[in-house]
Copies of this chain bind each other. A is one copy, B any other.
């Protein structure tokens, strides 16, 4: 089993794609209100952004999301060592499905379509390591879990997942440990 790679499950929104910046951008375009990230700690995105649910259902929301810093270079390095799968809970937003495919193809060209999973619930997915910003995905996962720090998951007194703040930290944990 020496050459069997560990399977790494990586979330998209809030881990690869900066949906917070996108929410702020769409809210500002619609209402002129500039929401300060410091004010939304511990608040669910949809509550933090009054028009959030409308915006995620609009064409282009996911396709034009900015990439989270260092995710491209670190994930490319990780792909050498791990069997990487991008798993996104996207089925609630059917407009996002094709957008997510083309977004990954553009920004993570080293990944193939075989490594992409768009689902509803992540409970059906198995692997060795999961990086995600939602407790609902990490809690049922059997394997090592890394919680990607985002405003909505702060102020949550849960210590069963290792909190990481950026991709350089992930690099350290998964490549240098």
Residues on A facing B (Cβ under 8 Å): 7, 9, 85, 87, 91-92, 94-95, 97-98, 101-102, 112-121, 124-127
A91: contacting residue among B95, B101, B126, CB under 8 A: B101
A127: contacting residue among B91, B94, B95, B124, CB under 8 A: B124
> Which residues of chain B have C-beta atoms less than 8 A from A126's C-beta?
124-126
Contact A94 B102 (CB under 8 A): yes
Offer 24 A-B interface pairs, CB within 8 angstroms, sorted by A. Answer: A7-B124, A9-B124, A85-B124, A91-B114, A91-B116, A91-B118, A92-B113, A94-B98, A94-B113, A97-B97, A97-B101, A97-B118, A113-B120, A114-B121, A115-B120, A116-B120, A117-B117, A117-B120, A118-B118, A119-B119, A124-B126, A124-B127, A125-B125, A125-B126
> Which residues of chain B have C-beta atoms less than 8 A from A85's C-beta?
124
> Which residues of chain B have C-beta atoms less than 8 A from A125's C-beta?
124-126
> Which residues of chain B have C-beta atoms less than 8 A from A121's C-beta?
114-115
A117 and chain B: residue at smallest CB distance: B119
Complex Cα spacing A3 to B15, Å: 35
Distance from A73 Cβ to chain B, minimum over Cβ atoms (Å): 23
What are the nearest 5 A-B pairs in CB distance? A114-B120, A97-B97, A91-B113, A126-B126, A117-B119
Distance from A24 Cβ to chain B, minimum over Cβ atoms (Å): 26
